[in-house]
Structure 1
Amino acid sequence: MKLVLNGHDERYVVEQGMLNLFPGERPVYEPIGPGDDSWAVVTLREDDRCHVTVELCFRGKSLPYSLDVPLVGDEFQREGIRRRAIGKCFFLAARALTGHTPPWGMLTGVRPVKLPTRALLSGATPLQAKQELREEYYVSPDRAALAVDCAQASIAAQRSLKEGEVSLYLGIPFCPTRCAYCSFVSADVGRTLTLVEPYVDALLKEIDGTARVLTESGRTIRSFYMGGGTPTTLSARQLDRVLTRCEQVLPLEGCTELTVEAGRPDTINREKLEVLRAHGVGRVSINPQTLEDHVLEAIGRKHSSGDIQTAYDLARKVGFDCINMDLIAGLPLDSLGGFRRSLDGVLAMGPENITVHTLAMKKGSTLIQRKGALPGGEEVAQMLDYSRTTLSGGYLPYYLYRQKYMSGSLENVGWARPGTESLYNIVMMEELHTVISLGAGGVTKLIDPQSGRLLRLSNPKYPQDYLSAGEKLAEQQREMLAFFR
C-alpha cells in the first residue's frame, strides 16, 4: 500500500494501522500513480485543535474520513494526542471502507493489558475498564473481558512483589531441530554440538558476574526461568553444572518460582528430570504445539504425539506438580478439527497451565520462506474461540501478548488453574520489575519502580559471538550495578 503523509511523519502509527486492517499489505512511500488501487493519504493540520484527514483507497474502492480533537496539555501530551488522532482516523476510515473490525479494535501494541491495568489502578471497576476498551478502542467484548481478567492477575502479581526483587532468565539457544515457525536465535544442536560445552562454560562466567552485581546491590531473585531454545537439549551433567552454579552464587533464598522449559519431548528423559527436581525446579513446560502427527512432521518436529504423552507421564512420576503445555493455532496443514483434538488431548492429560499461541509469520522462520498451506484467519479465530470457551471451564487467563504478522490479528494467552499462575510470565510481559537475561540473545530490562525508567542491555544474539563477548558482558554488568545504585 502506497502511503503519503502530509504535515507529519508518524510512519509507525500509520504502518501499524495498515497492518492491523490490511494485514497482507506492506508500506511503500512513493507518489501515487493513476493506476494505483491501494493507497492512503494521511494529512495533519493544527490550530488549537488537531485535524486529521485520511483518504483511503483499497482495491479500487475509496473513501475520505476526517477527525478533529482538541490539543491540550504540554508538548509531550500534545504529541500523544496527535498520534492517537492519526491512528484513530486511519482505523475508522479503514473500518468504514472494509466493513471489518479486528477483534482488538484499533489496538496494535504487544501489551494490550496495560490499558485496563492502568484503568483499574486508577479506581475503575472491571466493568468500566471493559467499557473503555470497547467504546474508546473498539475492542470486541470477548477480548475486552480477556484483557481485564489478565489485568487483574497483573495487579495481584504486582502487589506481591517486594522492593529489591528481580527475576532472572537463563537462555539456552539450542534445539534438536529448528521448527518451521521459529525465528528465535536457536541453533540446531546436530550442527553445533561443539559449541554446547563452551557455551555452558561462558554462561557460568556470566552467572558469576551477575551474582556479584546482585549481591553488591542487595537484590534478590523472586522468579527464575530457564528457556531457549530447548534447555533440555543440554545433557543431565550440563544441566547439573548450570543449576549447581546458580545455587552456589545467586541470591535465590526468596525465589518462589523456578521454571525450566523442557519443551521438546525428544529431549526429555528421567535423568534430566531428576536433575531438575533435585535442584528445586517446580514448574516445567512440555510443549507439544499440536497433537496431530502430520502437523508435527510439517513443522519439522522429530517426535510423535505419543512421545508427548510419554514425556508428560514421566514428569509426573518424577514429581512435577506444575506443568505447562503450549499449543499453536494456525500451524501448516492444521484445521479447526485438528486443533480441537489437540486441545482436548492436552486437557485430558491435565496440566496446570496451558498456553495457546497464535502463529505469527516471522521473517526469520523457514515457514514464511516456503509458504506452507496455512489455515485462514477466520479458521484460526475459530480455534481461539474454541480454546477460550473450553478452557474457561477450569482455567483462568492470566497473561497475554500480541505480535506482528499474527494470524487474524489475534493473541497469545496463558491459562492457569487458580493459584498456579507463572509469576515470571506476568512480570516479564507486563514489565512489573527488572528481568535480567543471561545467555546468547538475552535482553535485560532494568526497571526503576519509582521513576518508571527502563534500560535495556542486549547480549550478542548468536552463540558463537556470545563465546567471545566477555568484555561486553562485564561492561553491561557495570552498567547494571550503576543503575541499581
Structure 2
Amino acid sequence: MIYIKLQGHIYEYDIKEMVRQYFPKENIQMISDLSKASKNELIIINGLKVEKDKYKFYTIFQKKNQILLKEIMQLRIPSFENDKEKQRWEKRKLKVILYYSMEKQYSKSLPWGILTGIRPTKIVHKLMDEEKKEENIAKVLKSQFLLSNEKIKLLMDVAKQERDIVYPIDKNKVSIYIGIPFCPSRCVYCSFLSSVIQKNRESVKEYLQALYYEIKEIGKYINKHSLSIESIYIGGGTPTVLKVDELKELLDILQETFNIDEIKEYTLEAGRPDTINKEKLIVALSHGIKRISINPQTMNQKTLQNIGRMHSVEDIKKAYFLAREIGFSFINMDLILGLPGEDLKDVKRTLKEVEILKPENITVHTMSVKKGSKLKERLEEIKLDQGQKVSKMIEVAQDFASSNGYYAYYLYRQKYMLGNLENVGYCKTGYRSIYNIQMIAEKQTIIGLGAGSVTKVVFQEKDRIERMPNVKNVEQYIKRIQEMIDRKLSLLDSLYCKI
C-alpha cells in the first residue's frame, strides 16, 4: 500500500498516475488525513505553496513517522494567459518535483519522464504549430517533460511523419470506425468487451441489423452535410469472425451508404488467422478494402496457447500467404512485447519469422496489464517483467525495423504498460496508415459506429474535443440504438449546424 497526501492543490489524477509509473503493482490510496495512514507504509506528500512572488513545490517521503526524503523547488510566478494555462503549468511542476524525488529515492529514471498521457506527439505538434525550431522543441521535451534523448528522437521522428497527413486541417473531412465486438476466443491480455462468438451466435444477426441502421442514419447525415470520408476502419473484436455472407452484407451496406471510391484508406481487421479464409478475403478485396491486419502477436506456439489463441504459427503464415495470393498488397501485423513467459530469444524468433513475411506495416505493442483482463485477475501468479528486459525487447524491435527498411510513423502509450514504454507503428515507405495517424493526432472528427465505439468531434477553433461513446454491451446497444444515434447526431450538429 502507498498513501498519497496532497497539500495546496487538487490534481489527484495526475499525481496518482505519476506515482503509478514507479509502483505499477501497488495499491495506491489518496488520503486527506495523515493519521488514517498505516505508519508502516510509504506516505508521499506532494504539495505547493504560493509565497509572495514565488511558487514553492515540494515532495516528502515518510515511513514509520520518519522523513525519508524531502525535495523542494522554488520558482518565480510566471504570467498566465488564463486559468487553464496556470493549472497546466502547476500540474507539470508538481509532477517534476515528484519525479525528481522518486528518481533520487529509487535510483531509477523513466524514459518518458513525467509524461503519462496516451498521445505524446500532440505536444510536439503544438510546438511545431508555434513554429518552434527542432532544437528548441527538443529542449522543451528535455527540460520541461524530462524525456530521455532516445524518446525525444523517436517522438520528433514520428511527429514529422504525421504532419502532412494531419495538416492542413479540414473540418469537413471525417473518418469512420466500425466495431464488430465478437471474437473466436478471449485473449488473456484483452480488456475489450468482446463476446466469444460461439456463445453468442444468436445475437450476431440482431447486432448487425442495429449496426446497419446506425450506418445508414449516419450516412444520411454525412451526405446531407457534404462531408468527405478520408478513411474507414473496421475493427473489433475480430470482424472476420463473421460468416462470409454476414461480412458481404456488411460491406454491401457500407458500399451503398458511403462513396467508397473516394476514400483514401479502407482497413479490415483480420486479426485472428483462424477466422480468415479465401472467400472472406475475396469479398473484402472486391468491396474496395485495400489494407488488412493479420495479427500474430507472437510467433511462438507455446505463448499462443498461454494467451488464449486457438491457432498455430503455421495458421498465421498460411493466412498471410493466402492474403497475398488473393491480391492484398498492404498488410499490417501486430506484435506484443513482454507477453507472459517470453524472453528476448522468443522476441528475436518472432521478428525473424516476420522478416520472412515482409508486411508493409508492423505495429509493436508493449504489454499492458489492463483492467478487466484475465491477465489482471491472474497477476499474482503470472510473472511479468517490469523494466529492463522489456526495454531491451523494444531496442531489438527498433533495430529490426531500421535494418529492414521500416520507419516509425505513429506512436501512442497506454496505462499500465510494462516498463512505462510505448506502442509504435512502423511502415515501409508509402504505407503509412491514415486512420492510425488521425486517431492519435485528434485533429479530425472520427465517427464511431457499433457497440463500444467512440465518436470524437473536433472543434478546432476552440481547441476542444467532445467524445460520445456507444454502450459496450451488445444487448444494450441493440435496445438503445436510436438513443445513441440521436445523441451522435446532436453532437455532430454542434459542429456542422452553427447558427
If the length of structure 1 is used for normalisation, what is the TM-score?
A: 0.96
Question: Which deviations, in whole Å up to 9, do the C-alpha atoms of 1:119-145 show, x marking residues without a partner?
Answer: 223223334323322232221111111
CA distance in 2, matches of 1:422, 1:34: 50
What does residue range 139-158 of structure 1 map to in structure 2 within 5 Å?
139-158=147-166
Q: Report whether the alignment pairs 1:44 with 2:45.
A: no
What does residue range 186-201 of structure 1 map to in structure 2 within 5 Å?
186-201=194-209
- The SS at the match of 2:85 is helix
Query: Shift in Å at residue 117 of structure 1?
Result: 1.7
Aligned pair partner of 2:58 in 47, 53, 56: 53
Sort the Cα spacing of 1:240 and 1:61 in 2 relative to 1 into closer, same or farther, 3 A.
Answer: farther
Query: Shift in Å at residue 161 of structure 1?
Result: 5.4
Aligned pair partner of 1:129 in 134, 137, 157: 137
Q: Report whether the alignment pairs 1:375 with 2:385.
A: yes
**8 Å Cα contact 1:335-1:375 kept in structure 2:** no
Query: Shift in Å at residue 42 of structure 1?
Result: 1.4
CA distance in 1, matches of 2:67, 2:414: 29
* Identity over aligned pairs, percent: 35
What does residue range 196-211 of structure 1 map to in structure 2 within 5 Å?
196-211=204-219
Aligned pair partner of 1:405 in 399, 405, 416: 416
CA distance in 2, matches of 1:376, 1:470: 42
Q: Report whether the alignment pairs 1:473 with 2:477.
A: no
Residue of structure 1 equivalent to 2:39:
35
Q: Report whether the alignment pairs 1:16 with 2:14.
A: no
Residue of structure 1 equivalent to 2:280:
272
**8 Å Cα contact 2:40-2:63 kept in structure 1:** no
**8 Å Cα contact 1:444-1:456 kept in structure 2:** yes
Question: Which deviations, in whole Å up to 9, do the C-alpha atoms of 1:438-468 show, x marking residues without a partner?
Answer: 0000110011233223221111111111111
Residue of structure 1 equivalent to 2:304:
296
**8 Å Cα contact 1:169-1:438 kept in structure 2:** yes
Query: Could you tell which deviates more after superposition, 12-21 or 316-325?
Result: 12-21
**8 Å Cα contact 1:220-1:252 kept in structure 2:** no
Residue of structure 1 equivalent to 2:68:
62
CA distance in 1, matches of 2:458, 2:49: 37
CA distance in 2, matches of 1:96, 1:413: 29
- The SS at the match of 1:137 is coil
Query: Shift in Å at residue 77 of structure 1?
Result: 2.3
Query: Could you tell which deviates more after superposition, 355-364 or 470-479?
Result: 470-479
CA distance in 2, matches of 1:290, 1:235: 26
- The SS at the match of 1:109 is coil
Segments of structure 2 that go 5 or more residues without pairing to the other structure are: none
Residue of structure 1 equivalent to 2:425:
414
Query: Could you tell which deviates more after superposition, 457-466 or 280-289?
Result: 457-466
Residue of structure 2 equivalent to 1:223:
231
Residue of structure 2 equivalent to 1:438:
449
**8 Å Cα contact 1:21-1:91 kept in structure 2:** no
- Cα RMSD between the aligned structures? 1.7
- The SS at the match of 2:461 is coil
CA distance in 1, matches of 2:84, 2:340: 45
Question: Which deviations, in whole Å up to 9, do the C-alpha atoms of 1:51-84 show, x marking residues without a partner?
Answer: 1111024798821001122332233322222211
Query: Could you tell which deviates more after superposition, 346-355 or 67-76?
Result: 67-76
**8 Å Cα contact 1:209-1:477 kept in structure 2:** no
CA distance in 1, matches of 2:375, 2:314: 25
- The SS at the match of 2:48 is strand
Residue of structure 2 equivalent to 1:172:
180
Residue of structure 1 equivalent to 2:336:
328
Residue of structure 1 equivalent to 2:3:
2
Query: Shift in Å at residue 160 of structure 1?
Result: 5.8
Query: Shift in Å at residue 232 of structure 1?
Result: 0.0
**8 Å Cα contact 2:171-2:444 kept in structure 1:** no
What does residue range 306-317 of structure 1 map to in structure 2 within 5 Å?
306-317=314-325
Residue of structure 2 equivalent to 1:427:
438
Question: Which deviations, in whole Å up to 9, do the C-alpha atoms of 1:26-53 show, x marking residues without a partner?
Answer: 3213425573241111122113322111
Sort the Cα spacing of 1:156 and 1:461 in 2 relative to 1 into closer, same or farther, 3 A.
Answer: same
**8 Å Cα contact 1:446-1:454 kept in structure 2:** yes
Residue of structure 2 equivalent to 1:85:
93
Query: Shift in Å at residue 182 of structure 1?
Result: 0.1
- The SS at the match of 1:312 is helix
CA distance in 2, matches of 1:120, 1:81: 19
CA distance in 2, matches of 1:43, 1:105: 19
Query: Shift in Å at residue 340 of structure 1?
Result: 1.1
**8 Å Cα contact 1:264-1:288 kept in structure 2:** yes
Query: Could you tell which deviates more after superposition, 462-471 or 179-188?
Result: 462-471
Question: Which deviations, in whole Å up to 9, do the C-alpha atoms of 1:354-376 show, x marking residues without a partner?
Answer: 00001110111011112323334
- The SS at the match of 2:342 is coil
Deviating above 6 A after TM superposition, structure 1's stretches of 4 or more consecutive aligned residues are 58-61
Query: Shift in Å at residue 288 of structure 1?
Result: 0.2
CA distance in 2, matches of 1:412, 1:452: 26
Q: Report whether the alignment pairs 1:356 with 2:361.
A: no
Residue of structure 2 equivalent to 1:390:
400
Give the AA of the match of 1:373: K
CA distance in 2, matches of 1:444, 1:34: 44
Give the AA of the match of 1:55: I
CA distance in 1, matches of 2:329, 2:258: 25
Sort the Cα spacing of 1:157 and 1:121 in 2 relative to 1 into closer, same or farther, 3 A.
Answer: same
Give the AA of the match of 2:378: R
Sort the Cα spacing of 1:58 and 1:336 in 2 relative to 1 into closer, same or farther, 3 A.
Answer: farther
**8 Å Cα contact 2:178-2:448 kept in structure 1:** yes
Q: Report whether the alignment pairs 1:118 with 2:123.
A: no
Report the count of equivalent residues: 485
CA distance in 2, matches of 1:225, 1:53: 46
